[in-house]
A and B are shown apart, each in its own frame.
Chain A
Amino acid sequence: MQSFTYERAASAEQAAAAVADRPDAKFISGGTNLLDLMKLEIERPAHLVDVSRLPLNRIEETAEGGLRIGAQVRNSDLAADQRVRSRYPMLSQALLAGASGQIRNKASTSGNLLQRTRCPYFYDRNMPCNKREPGAGCAAFQGFNRMHAVLGASEACIAVHPSDMAVAMSGLDARIETISPGGETRTIPIGDFHRLPGAMPHVETVLGHGEMIAAVTLPLPPPGRQVYRKVRDRASYAFALVSVAAIVEKSGDRVQSARIAMGGVAAKPWRATEAERMLAGAAASNGAFTDAAEAALDGAIGHGGNDFKIPLAKRTMRHTLAAAVESA
């Protein structure tokens, strides 16, 4: 770990400006990911701006009937919020499926969105990694890639985004509010927030340097039953091999509308838009769910160790959709 300087931000605008002023500065909140990476010198910021005490820790009703979640709301608090549990149960389930109680008590909403991949080659400075060192190559591509992406990957990088929360937020059409050094704000749909690796896997989001997440806004909860299903190698404290967030609205025997997001398959939460389109108006049946799952994984590519994710994702999606309509 390299030495660094530290300051505690007094306001969001000041925090954004403090980071913007220095190319080697970073925001820190819970530090549950950043500090680990700094100890291994994978992240080497020379200056940290602590935003964890900014007054961004409230969950508020919005005029449109949704919720505005402050960037500094802790994962535990968000999962436990009564409004989240009753109106966005999928989000609460996803949060509680992630990490451990201790980590959730520290981790912030914004930090969860910005956490970095768990690719073991990214985590080892002796291994080539384009995400850590652009142009170095990708050790995972022909290496141990059991946890890696089957959708949206490139030859430069096959890492996945590890968040559960972000997958649920993707299914809920969350919007991310940011504040820039000059005080200007913008709102980014979550689907546009994370970038696929392409040739530049080290650029993971559309945020500019010094642009800070202020809040995540959830629109009015969509109709239908919400289910988050995470498949993992042990019962808890493991990253998703595959996860599916599904909201299925049923009308009689038919699906009125569906929203589906997948985790553990790509460098970002993966919205299965084609599957959603196929399901709208289709019979709520085994066959329709199977077809939707096939469509969702259309174009998926395995890299040897992670080939199993493709059938696993299909089976998990089919089952999750069925579970969502069972008691819808």
Chain B
Amino acid sequence: MTETKTSENRPTETRNGVIGRPIDRIDAPLKVRGDATYAYENALDGTAYGYILGAAVAKGRIAEIDTDEAEGAPAVLLVMTHRNAPAQPDFGPAVTPTVREVFTRARPVLNSERVRYYDEPVALVVAETFEAARAAAGLIRVRYDEEPGLYDLPARVADAYAPKRTNAGFETDSVVGDFESAFAAAPVKIDATYRTPFEHHNPMEPHATLAAWSGNELTIHTSAQTLANFRAGVASTLRIPPERVRIVSPFIGGGFGSKLIAHADTILAALAAQVLQRPVKIALTRQQMFANAGHRAEMIQQVRLGADTDGRLNGIAHDVWSATSSFEEYCEQTAVFARSLYAAPNRLTRHRLVPLDINRGEWMRSPGEAPGMLAFECAMDELAERLGLDPIELRIRNEPTRDPERGVPFSTRNLVACMEDGARRFGWERRNPTPGRTREGRKLIGHGMAAAIRPNYIGAATARVAIDRDGRVTARLDMTDIGTGSYTILTQIAAEGLGVPISSVKVELGDSRFPRTAGSGGSWGAASAGSALHNACNALKERILEAARSSEASPLRGANATEASFADSEVRVGQRSASLADLIRRIAPDGFEAEGSVAAGAATESYKAYSQHSYGAHFAEVAVDCDTGEIRMRRMLAVMGAGRILNVKTARSQIIGGMTWGIGAALMEQTVLDPRHGHFVNHDLAEYHVPINGDVPEMEVVFLEEHDDKANPFGAKGLGELGVCGAGAAVANAIYNATGVRVREFPITLDKVLPALPVIAI
């Protein structure tokens, strides 16, 4: 249960009908006009520009670094290397004592002669202009003692180890019943191994920071999803109190999980600004982002499913071997969703890691479900075919009544309704279950589906809301809007909560001076920050009512009815009412302010008592060119059950974005790690393919009516990442249906289907 203030007079009748409406993004005009200032666009007097030089080898030590020429180059102010960088703490152990410290630990840069991964920063040049800094960086000569490194996951699976926990603190393994015996005895089995590649987030806005000191106070303008993490990470690395660090990040050009912690741009800008006593601005180049801003690790996943001949699962096993970094562990929770998705008495999930000489993997677009469901939901499709059962029917037959491993009830779970509604809308009954049989001209047509599940996370958050004498409402919290619509839905929540029009509400985000939230990530932003703001509005209303009843100047003085409402810019107590602005002017010329909070979900009774997830069903139609093997999407549909929808337009945009990532994961996204050199070979957006407009077909998104009262005060659940969960598997299953070729190595590029496509006479 989220923390809510309860009171006899709790004003609940405030529905203004604003929440849920598909209003346009509040920040859209600013962005369209170019008036939304992004981190690198901030201008301060005397700003100097930094440029990072990365290591040319993936493992070894810097034997010699000659910076003379660079230091003498025009307009150069500083060349920083491990020899002269301000002291920072050592990096520390590969595994932090607690989950939280992953986000707050020191991540020193230019702190050692060691090179731990390719393109790790070895020098920073700061100059009067960006161009001068970049040119001078090209003049630095570095000689390395290169050492052989480990870069090949499949070759090293035998060396895998079991981590102490996965990302987000889940158990590494789960065991229920006796999977091996059940699987051995199962009349129908699938044992399939899938591979998913390294992937990179590639938000449009690169990681960028402008750092400036004023005395011993540091202000950092950057592109951050989670301000508190940045503040803590910078403070740990610079060894200063967090209170002396201010993070400002009002607009973010995408994050996808790559901006949850501070990276080299932030740390180096802060250090250089300290040395030079000038503001310093640094951005990672697109190429540098591939090594220095996180990635999704390469994985091998084995899925074993044992069923009886009616399609009831007796055993489920999901084993994951993932690459990790040799110096800092990251274990994506890839098999965790499988603990909650389908019923089966015997169950096994395990995560194993293979350390490589690469940078640490990070949280990327639905960590866990995105790669995990890509494999698992294909295995379910394989099982359905082996059973001669419709894939939806197979899933319905294995629908659990309680969480299969925790044994607790579901808060809400509409997976079956999502699949059935989707089947009707998509025309699923017209799908030919026999693969390779549907042709239109020289295109093979296929249809596929997959389920979606994503946990409902709530992070601790506080919000402050104020109302002034003119009835204008200002909400402040250190939440971020990474392009998802936070400004908009928070405006709606405040408007509805206080019964005022949208135009009377101003939401200010992205400043660590505001009350702390969990920021944007893990799809927890709307529910966490939203709940805090909702509670803040309730607290504000209580303050207003209290004063309205007691203040001598109040037109509502003495009103003692327990029924009170805030609507249409009026306050109504029983039969009496007053204009909100007029009331405030009379009783509190300086206005009112209140705070509201929500506790982290995992700590609450409701979270312990209920299995809380969002669900959905994805459907995809593909066309495969029988001459070339080119795979193109024709249409996609997602039906989602994700609690109350706060804004149908921004929610839909989130889901179609996720579905687009699903296309990417299924068809094209892959970063190639060269096993000889340890570098990501295709490290730019020309060679790392994400779907472009031409790849994205007609997409339909449906939200089922749902209100999850266990999740939070307004019944909403995490939504953003649900769009990617299972979407790629639906595409992969459609490709199988089109061609009869089951590709288990993602992405499914044309060369992998081509050999199996018949040469059809012309």
Q: Which residues of A contact B (CB under 8 A)?
A: 1-3, 39-41, 118, 120-121, 123-127, 139, 142-144, 146, 231-239, 241, 286, 289, 308, 311-312, 315-316, 318-319, 322
Question: What are the residues of chain A within 8 A of B134 when measuring CB–CB?
Answer: 1, 39
Question: What are the residues of chain A within 8 A of B695 when measuring CB–CB?
Answer: 234-236
* B23: interface (CB < 8 Å): no
By Cβ-Cβ distance, the 9 closest A-B pairs, closest first, are A235-B694, A308-B751, A319-B627, A322-B762, A126-B56, A236-B694, A144-B681, A231-B628, A235-B695
* B519: interface (CB < 8 Å): no
* B759: interface (CB < 8 Å): yes
Is B762 touching A234 in the complex (CB atoms < 8 A)? no
* B176: interface (CB < 8 Å): no
Q: What is the bound-complex CA distance between A83 and B586, given in angstroms? A: 77
A-facing residues in B685-719 (Cβ within 8 Å): 686-687, 689, 691-695
Question: What are the residues of chain B within 8 A of A289 when measuring CB–CB?
Answer: 762
* B682: interface (CB < 8 Å): yes
* Shortest Cβ distance from residue B143 to the other chain A in the assembled complex, whole angstroms: 13
Q: What is the bound-complex CA distance between A4 and B632, given in angstroms? A: 44
Is A143 touching B674 in the complex (CB atoms < 8 A)? yes
Question: What are the residues of chain B within 8 A of A139 when measuring CB–CB?
Answer: 674, 676-677
Q: Which residues of B contact A (CB under 8 A)?
A: 56-57, 74, 118, 131, 134-135, 138, 287, 442, 627-630, 632, 667-668, 672, 674, 676-677, 679, 681-684, 686-687, 689, 691-695, 749-751, 754-755, 759, 761-762
Q: What is the bound-complex CA distance between A113 and B91, given in angstroms? A: 50
With A3-B135, A121-B681 as contacts: A319 and B56 at CB distance below 8 Å: no
Is A126 touching B692 in the complex (CB atoms < 8 A)? no
12 sampled A-B residue pairs with Cβ under 8 A: A39-B134, A120-B682, A144-B681, A146-B751, A233-B668, A233-B749, A234-B692, A235-B692, A235-B694, A239-B686, A286-B761, A316-B628
20 extra interface residue pairs, beta carbon distance < 8 Å, beyond A123-B684, A143-B676, A312-B750: A1-B134, A121-B681, A124-B681, A126-B56, A127-B677, A142-B676, A143-B674, A231-B628, A233-B668, A233-B750, A234-B689, A234-B691, A235-B692, A235-B694, A235-B695, A236-B694, A236-B695, A237-B694, A312-B754, A318-B762
Is A237 touching B692 in the complex (CB atoms < 8 A)? yes
Is A41 touching B677 in the complex (CB atoms < 8 A)? no
Q: What is the bound-complex CA distance between A286 and B761, given in angstroms? A: 6
Is A144 touching B672 in the complex (CB atoms < 8 A)? yes
* Shortest Cβ distance from residue B699 to the other chain A in the assembled complex, whole angstroms: 15
* Shortest Cβ distance from residue B288 to the other chain A in the assembled complex, whole angstroms: 11
Question: What are the residues of chain A within 8 A of B681 when measuring CB–CB?
Answer: 120-121, 124, 143-144
Question: What are the residues of chain B within 8 A of A2 when measuring CB–CB?
Answer: 135, 138
Is B684 touching A1 in the complex (CB atoms < 8 A)? no
* Shortest Cβ distance from residue A31 to the other chain B in the assembled complex, whole angstroms: 15
Is B672 touching A319 in the complex (CB atoms < 8 A)? no
Q: What is the bound-complex CA distance between A204 and B261, given in angstroms? A: 45
Most buried by A among B74, B138, B689, B762: B762
Question: What are the residues of chain B within 8 A of A236 when measuring CB–CB?
Answer: 692-695
With A143-B681, A286-B762, A319-B442 as contacts: A308 and B689 at CB distance below 8 Å: no
With A144-B682, A289-B762 as contacts: A118 and B627 at CB distance below 8 Å: no
Is A311 touching B754 in the complex (CB atoms < 8 A)? yes
Is A144 touching B692 in the complex (CB atoms < 8 A)? no
The DSSP consensus for interface residues of chain A is loop
Question: What are the residues of chain B within 8 A of A286 when measuring CB–CB?
Answer: 761-762
Beta-carbon nearest neighbor of B688 in chain A? A120
Question: What are the residues of chain A within 8 A of B135 when measuring CB–CB?
Answer: 1-3
Beta-carbon nearest neighbor of A2 in chain B? B135
* Shortest Cβ distance from residue B117 to the other chain A in the assembled complex, whole angstroms: 13
Q: What is the bound-complex CA distance between A121 and B682, given in angstroms? A: 9
* Shortest Cβ distance from residue A250 to the other chain B in the assembled complex, whole angstroms: 14
Question: What are the residues of chain B within 8 A of A146 when measuring CB–CB?
Answer: 751
* Shortest Cβ distance from residue B69 to the other chain A in the assembled complex, whole angstroms: 12
Q: What is the bound-complex CA distance between A47 and B674, given in angstroms? A: 35
Question: What are the residues of chain A within 8 A of B629 when measuring CB–CB?
Answer: 312
Q: What is the bound-complex CA distance between A120 and B688, given in angstroms? A: 11
Beta-carbon nearest neighbor of A143 in chain B? B674
Is B138 touching A234 in the complex (CB atoms < 8 A)? no
Beta-carbon nearest neighbor of A289 in chain B? B762
* Shortest Cβ distance from residue B573 to the other chain A in the assembled complex, whole angstroms: 60
Question: What are the residues of chain A within 8 A of B138 when measuring CB–CB?
Answer: 1-2, 41
Is B668 touching A234 in the complex (CB atoms < 8 A)? yes
Q: What is the bound-complex CA distance between A308 and B628, given in angstroms? A: 11
Q: What is the bound-complex CA distance between A125 and B131, given in angstroms? A: 19
Is B627 touching A316 in the complex (CB atoms < 8 A)? yes
Beta-carbon nearest neighbor of A118 in chain B? B686
Q: What is the bound-complex CA distance between A318 and B693, given in angstroms? A: 29
* Shortest Cβ distance from residue B756 to the other chain A in the assembled complex, whole angstroms: 12
* Shortest Cβ distance from residue B357 to the other chain A in the assembled complex, whole angstroms: 15
Q: What is the bound-complex CA distance between A146 and B670, given in angstroms? A: 13
Is A118 touching B628 in the complex (CB atoms < 8 A)? no
Question: What are the residues of chain B within 8 A of A39 when measuring CB–CB?
Answer: 134
Beta-carbon nearest neighbor of B58 in chain A? A126
With A234-B667, A236-B693 as contacts: A124 and B676 at CB distance below 8 Å: no
Q: What is the bound-complex CA distance between A285 and B262, given in angstroms? A: 63
Beta-carbon nearest neighbor of B138 in chain A? A41
Beta-carbon nearest neighbor of B285 in chain A? A39
Q: What is the bound-complex CA distance between A234 and B631, given in angstroms? A: 8
* Shortest Cβ distance from residue B609 to the other chain A in the assembled complex, whole angstroms: 46
Q: What is the bound-complex CA distance between A75 and B185, given in angstroms? A: 65
* Shortest Cβ distance from residue A143 to the other chain B in the assembled complex, whole angstroms: 6
- Within the complex, which residue of A1, A3, A126, A315 is in contact with B759, where a contact is CB–CB below 8 Å? A315
Question: What are the residues of chain A within 8 A of B628 when measuring CB–CB?
Answer: 231, 312, 315-316, 319
Q: What is the bound-complex CA distance between A132 and B74, given in angstroms? A: 27
Question: What are the residues of chain A within 8 A of B682 when measuring CB–CB?
Answer: 120, 144
With A237-B692, A286-B762 as contacts: A120 and B687 at CB distance below 8 Å: yes
Q: What is the bound-complex CA distance between A126 and B677, given in angstroms? A: 10
Question: What are the residues of chain A within 8 A of B749 when measuring CB–CB?
Answer: 233
With A2-B138, A308-B754 as contacts: A238 and B630 at CB distance below 8 Å: no
Beta-carbon nearest neighbor of B685 in chain A? A237
Q: What is the bound-complex CA distance between A233 and B672, given in angstroms? A: 15
Q: What is the bound-complex CA distance between A228 and B370, given in angstroms? A: 37
* Shortest Cβ distance from residue B444 to the other chain A in the assembled complex, whole angstroms: 14
Q: What is the bound-complex CA distance between A66 and B180, given in angstroms? A: 74
Question: What are the residues of chain A within 8 A of B679 when measuring CB–CB?
Answer: 124, 126-127
